[in-house]
Chain A
Amino acid sequence: MEPGTYFLLVQHVSGGMGRVDFLEFEPTTPVEAATWGRIKNMYNN
Chain B
Amino acid sequence: MIERVHSSGRRLAQMAITVVLLAVVSGASLAAEGLRLEAEEFPAYGSYNIGGSDIREAYCSYASGGLAVDGLDIPDEWFKLKVTFTHGGCYSTRIDYQSAYDDTVQLVVRLLDYPLPGDEVTADYLLIDGYGFG
Contacts and interface: CB of A to CB of B under 8 A. Distances in A.
Interface of A: 1-30, 32-38, 40-41, 44
Given A12-B72, A13-B108, A20-B39, A29 B99 contact: no
Contact of B110 (A9, A27, A29): A9
Interface string B110-130: 111111000000001001000
Instruction: Say whether chain A's binding surface is mostly helix, strand, loop, or mixed.
Output: strand
A3 B39 contact: no
B34 A27 contact: yes
Nearest to A13: B106
A28 B18 contact: yes
A30 B72 contact: no
Interface residues of B, number: 82
Nearest to B63: A21
B75 A13 contact: yes
B13 A24 contact: no
| Interface-centre pick from A19, A33, A35, A41 (highest chain B CB count, 10 A) | A19
B13 A36 contact: yes
A10 B115 CA distance: 18
A16 B75 CA distance: 9
